[in-house]
Each structure stands twice: as C-alpha cells, then as structure tokens.
Amino acid sequence: MDIMLDAGLFIDNACGGKGLCGKCRVRITGGDAGDVSETERGILREEEIEQGIRLACLVYPSSDIEIELLQKEKKHDVLASGYMPDFEFDLDIIKMPVTIHKPTLEDQTPFEDQILEETGASGFAYEALCGHDMMPGSYTAVIHGNKVTALEPGDTSAAMYGVAIDIGTTTVVCSLIDMNTGEELGHASEINAQKFFGLDVLTRITYEIEHPQDGREKLQKAIVGSINKMVASVCSRQGISIDQIYEFSVGANCTMMHMLMGVDARPIGKAPFAPVFARAKDVRADSIGLKGATGARLYCLPSVSAYIGADIVAGAYVCDLKSEPGNVIFIDIGTNGEIVLASHGRLMSCSCAAGPALEGMNISSGMRAAEGAIEDITIGEDGIGLKVIGDCEPSGICGSGILTVTKELLRTGIVRKTGAFVKADKFDSSDYRSKYISVDEEGKRSFRMTEGSENSEPLYITQGDIRQVQLAKGAILSGFMALMKRAGIGMEDLDKVLIAGQFGAHLPAQSITGTGILPFEVEDRISYVGNTSKTGAYMALMSGKVKREMEELAHEMDYLELGATDNYERLLSECLIFPVFR
C-alpha cells in the first residue's frame, strides 16, 4: 500500500492500512508476495485467495512483483450549492488605479510615497516593490488591510477574482468568484485527495502519527495540490489567468484546516482533544503553496473546538441561528455529526463520533456515492427494488442507501429494534421475507440485496453493517437529546431542524427518522440548507464585515463535550435502540 500511495495509484484505504476494511484488494499476477496472513484469510474468500487476490496493506514485497489493480475511480456528484442569505459586499481587498509621476530635481518624491499618498494606504509590502521595473506611468495598486500588497502595470482593476473553498473530509469544492460583481463563474469539485491516507479524520491523524518524518507534509501537499488543480481547471474553462486570483477563503473542519495549513493535527486525535489553533487565519496564500496573484491572501474561517470546525461556524452564520426567535437545531451529518442548538439567541454545540458508516464506509458492501452505488431500496412481496447511481449494475451501497435499507429492514420486521436480524425460521416458507435472509456456515444472518451475476458477486447487508449504522445513529441522536436537555426544552418546543452538508442533502426525512437518527416527531420540521460551509466561505470572501462577525460568533458558541456530561453512557445506550414502526 505504501508503494502504491507513493506512486499516486488509487487504492481504497478506508481503515488506513490496518487490515480491517478489506477494500484494498489487488491481484498478484507475478512474483512472490509472501504467505497469505491469517487476517487476510478472515476477510478474503477462499476462491479469491486462489485467484491471487490479496490485501495491499498486508503485502510486504521482498522482491519485484506484478499486480493488477481491481479498482478504478468513479464519477462523483459533489454538492456545491447551498442556502444564500442577503448580505452587503465589503471587500477586504481592493484594486485602485494609480499614476506614478516622473520625478524632477525639484520633486524627488519616491514612487512608494506617491502611491501611498494617492491611495491613502498606510503601508507598502516589500514584495510589491520587487519583480518589475518601476517607471513613471499607470499602475494598479492591490490593497489589503490598508496596505499595498502588490503593484501591477496598467489598469487591471476590472480583473479581480477569488476562490471560495469547502474542504470536507470526503469532498472538496472550489468556486471561482468575480470579486467585482460577486458572481460565481464556475466551480470544480472532487473527492478529497487525502483519501489515499484514510477516509476519516482519525485515520489521517493516525497516518501523521505513524509517519513523523513526512506524514504532515504529504497530507498538506495532497490537499494544496488538489486545490491548485481544481482552481486551474475552472480558471481555464473561464479563460481567466491564475495570477488574477487575489484571495482564497476556506471553510473546513478543524482537522482539515490544520492539515491544509501544515500544522500538527495529532493533538486533535487524543484526549483532551485540544487543537493547536481555532482562531481565523489570514496569511499569504503562497506560504502554503497555493497559486494566485502576487501577494494573494488565504483566509481560514474560525473554529470553536477540535470537533466544531469552521464549516459549522459558517453554517450557523449562514442560517443566522443567533437571530432565531425560537428553538432551532442545525445538524451536519457526516463522518462526524456536528449539532448546534439555537435557543432564543444562545448557541450550544456538540460533536458526535458517528464514524464513516453513514457515508458508506465500514460497511461490507459500502462505497461512496458514485456510479454503481445503490442509493435507494424498497423491500416488498413483489421483490427488491433498487435505485442505482448511473443506472448501471450495482457494485455496492452508499450512505443514503445504507440508511434506506436499514429503514426497510426495520419496517418489514426483518431486523428488530435491538438491531438484531430475526432468525430465518421465524417466518414460515410462505412469508416473502424468509427468502431474503441468508445464513452462512457459522450461522450468521444477513440480508441479500442482489443475486450477483457473471461479472459481480451478490451484495449483502450483514449484522455488522447494521451495528455500524446503529452506533452512528445512537451517537447523533444522543447529541441531539443531550443538547435539548441542556437547554431545558422538549420535543414540542423545537421549531425546526436544519440539515446541512453533502451527505445530509441526499437523505429523505423518512430515512432520517425511520432509522431513528432523529425522532419521528421532527419529520415535518426538517429543512435542507445544502453546502453552508462553501456559502460561508463565499460570504467571507466578499465581506470583511462577515469575517469579523463569524469570528465573534465562533467565540460566543458554547461547546458541550458529550463524554463529560452526566449519565451520557445511559443516554447513548437508550439512543442505540431503533424505532418501532407502527
């Protein structure tokens, strides 16, 4: 696996090379790959081993070998839009045409002083004086924070662009913005390039811990290189030069922000989970390798804590939670379930370790929401109905699919409220449900979604898969209930629930309540607000006032550490129980 990662070869790496997920399968076609380990024998089928299939993370070559890649990257539909409130533009960066006059013996005013006097700026960056011949004539001064950061020949004031970025654990979105008009000219999106080092934040932090020499640098290069590539792509489509980009604005969770900035993220992965920084950052973009105009700025939105990041602060600001007159819950459902409760102007937050199951990972047949992923399913007497992304043969199941199938298994009584599969002999032979339950040689029960074909294996939902969903659902619901209890409000007092994020946007309310992630009572109060992290990054890009207000909001948000609250273990155990369909 390390050799493949160093070579930039795609390999699914859900568990970070621990031999747990079984998704890094390759076929050995030549050379000696060593003996098959007991761990591999516990994951791979005997026929797979006979075909030379191994787990890349557990193969340590002692000589040259040849391998066949069994995976290929698939197209993904990444959410780039979200709710946008009205706000006034108030740019931190402005461009101002200036004229440098030819000096005379009577007037030897330095060019620098001429520009400062004409613009009213209070300072001049040293870098702005370098790089071009300073001759009398027309220039454009780029001013940030009342300081001239760059000087460009001619009048270039009409060309001023910025990039609003949302860095999620799973996906990254970059939007090119005309800063003179506020218009979004285009966007690019892709799966987070740090996927090579693990699919969740803790796996990536573990990679940094286990690779002290270069782990942090590799993680930073992966995300910075990915952003540069996406920005170059969208600029090319719009006919805009990269050196016309003057500001990057980033919303991200706290771990992703540390890894973007090349800052030690290891403290976030262990108690007491204190990040190195949480405040907003305003630095030169080229200080971390981002490509843009001379002196281009990078603004990183503020976080609250290690697990309430800038993406959640952005969401709370975009939805104006502080001004809500009643009680509103904001939830970003993903690898971590972040929740903010706004109760009459007071904002309380918590983070739930939902794990990657709800995004299709840690699931035996799980995959990202890409071509071939089952995203919806129905179970009935007439058979199993599947909706597959790309309308092709199913190759796995994504997060929305795993929630839907769990809901269906609960609705049909195939799975009990405890999360256990009903025994096969519970149903008589005439009951349609009996034909969907499979029992292996060890007596373990599972639900068979597909029969398979010549080109594919059958797809199952196992007891372990249901347990993964159960743990994620219990974590999120327990956070929801803990915040409600802390605020002293009941379900009848809750006015609305706002669902944000890439994953949440694809979840029907019936799946959210049907699996018990949230109570049945809130189903008619659920609204979707989309990618509020990118919206917040856009608003900060276009307004210094927004930046300052976000920083104040982050400072005012209270954080509740669930593990330190009274009787949390009891609350969590209660929230693990699935709802009963009536």
Which backbone phi and psi does 166 adopt, to 5 degrees? -115, 115
Query: Which of 523, 481, 472 has the alpha carbon at shortest distance from 499?
Result: 523
Does pLDDT of 113 surpass 70? yes
User: Measured between alpha carbons, how far is residue 78 from residues 165, 238, 368, 530 in Å?
Assistant: 13, 20, 11, 11
Q: Which of 462, 481, 510 is the last residue of a domain?
A: 462
pLDDT digits (tens, 9 = 90+) for 121-180: 998 888 888 867 778 889 999 999 889 999 999 999 999 999 999 998 888 999 999 999
**Is residue 23 helix, strand or coil?**
coil
What band does 313 get if pLDDT is binned at 50, 70 and 90? very high
CA distance 209 to 416: 40
Q: What is the reported pTM?
A: 0.83
Q: Report the half-sphere exposure of 536 (CA within 13 A, side-chain side).
A: 37
Give the distance from CA 414 to its chain's centroid. Answer: 33
Please report whether residue 87 resides in a domain.
Answer: no
Q: Which residue has the higher pLDDT, 278 or 509?
A: 278
C-beta of residue 397 within 8 angstroms of C-beta of residue 384: no
pLDDT of residue 399: 83
Distance CA 555, CA 553 (A): 5
pLDDT at 296 over 80: yes
pLDDT at 76: 47
Same domain, 433 and 569: no
Confidence band for 387, pLDDT divided at 50, 70 and 90: very high
453 is in which domain, residue-wise? Answer: 367-462
Q: What is the pLDDT of residues 362-382, one digit of tens each?
A: 788 888 778 888 989 999 988
Selected residue with higher pLDDT from 220 and 51? 220
Shared-domain flag, residues 290 and 171: yes
- Give the model's confidence band at 74: pLDDT under 50 very low, under 70 low, under 90 confident, else very high: low
Contacts of 172 (CB under 8 A, 6+ apart): 78, 165, 166, 189, 190, 191, 192, 193, 223, 226, 227, 230
Indicate the range of 18-32, 163-177, 202-216, 493-507 predicted with least confidence: 493-507
Both tokens of 256, joined, read 């992703």
Same domain for 404 and 276, yes or no, is: no
Q: Are residues 413 and 378 in the same domain?
A: yes
**452 and 476, same domain (yes or no):** no
Q: Is the pLDDT of residue 79 over 50?
A: no
Asked if residue 416 and residue 295 are part of one domain, the reply reads no
Q: What is the CA radius of gyration of the chain?
A: 27
For 221-243, how does the pLDDT look when each residue is reduced to its tens digit (9 = 90+)?
Answer: 999 999 999 999 999 999 999 99
Beta strands, E only, 333-488: 337-343, 346-352, 373-380, 383-388, 396-397, 437-439, 445-448, 460-462
Residue 306 maps to a domain: no
Whole-number Å distance between alpha carbons of 538 and 182: 9
Residue 137 sits at φ, ψ, to 5 deg, of: 150, -165
Domain count, the chain: 5
Domain with 571 in it: what CATH number? 3.30.420.40
Residue 8 lies in a domain: yes
Answer yes or no: is 205 within a domain.
Answer: yes
User: Dihedrals φ, ψ of 548, to 5°?
Assistant: -65, -40
Return the number of other C-beta atoms located less than 10 Å from residue 413's C-beta. Answer: 14
Report the range of poorest mean pLDDT among 54-68, 503-517, 539-553. Answer: 503-517
pLDDT band of residue 557 (cuts 50, 70, 90) is very high
* Residues 546 and 570 occupy one common structural domain: yes
Q: Taking 80 as the threshold, does the pLDDT of residue 15 lie above it?
A: no
What is the torsion angle, in degrees rounded to the nearest 10, for the CA atoms of residue 507, residue 508, residue 509 and residue 515?
-70
pLDDT at residue 73 in the model: 59
- Would you say residue 336 has pLDDT above 80? no
- Which among 400, 386, 421 is positioned nearest to 512, based on CA atoms? 400
Which amino acid is present at 460?
A: Y
Q: Give the whole-angstrom CA distance, residue 223 versus residue 167.
A: 9
Could you tell me if 422 and 437 are in contact, meaning their C-beta atoms sit under 8 angstroms apart?
yes
Please report whether residue 258 resides in a domain: yes
**What pLDDT, on the 0 to 100 scale, is given for residue 502?**
67
Determine the pLDDT at residue 454: 67
Quick one: what percent of the chain has pLDDT higher than 90? 58
Confidence of residue 54 (pLDDT cuts 50, 70, 90): very high
Residue 356 confidence class, pLDDT cut points 50, 70, 90: low
Query: Do 336 and 474 share a domain, yes or no?
Result: yes
Q: Is residue 83 part of a domain?
A: no
Cα 34 to Cα 54: distance, rounded to the nearest angstrom: 10
Residue 95, pLDDT above cutoff 90 = yes
Residues 398 and 449 in one domain: yes
pLDDT digits (tens, 9 = 90+) for 261-278: 999 999 999 988 999 999
For residue range 181-199, what is the model confidence (pLDDT) as tens digits? Answer: 999 999 999 889 998 888 7
**Residues 174 and 285 placed together within one structural domain of the fold:** yes
pLDDT for 11 equals 77
- The pLDDT mean for the chain works out to 89
Residue 231 or residue 440, greater confidence: 231
Residues 374 and 351 in one domain: no
C-alpha 120 chain-centroid distance? 42
CATH number, domain containing residue 31:
3.10.20.30
Q: Name the domain boundary from 442, 462, 482.
A: 462
Identify whether 424 is part of a domain.
yes
**Cis preceding linkage at 85, omega within 30:** no
Structural domain contains residue 312:
no
HEC-encoded secondary structure of 493-539 = HCCEEEEECCCHHHCCHHHHHHCCCCCHHHHHHEEEEECHHHHHHHH
- The answer on 483 and 444 residing in a single domain is no
Picking from 153, 171, 195, the residue at the C-terminal end of a domain is 153
357 pLDDT band, cuts 50/70/90, is low
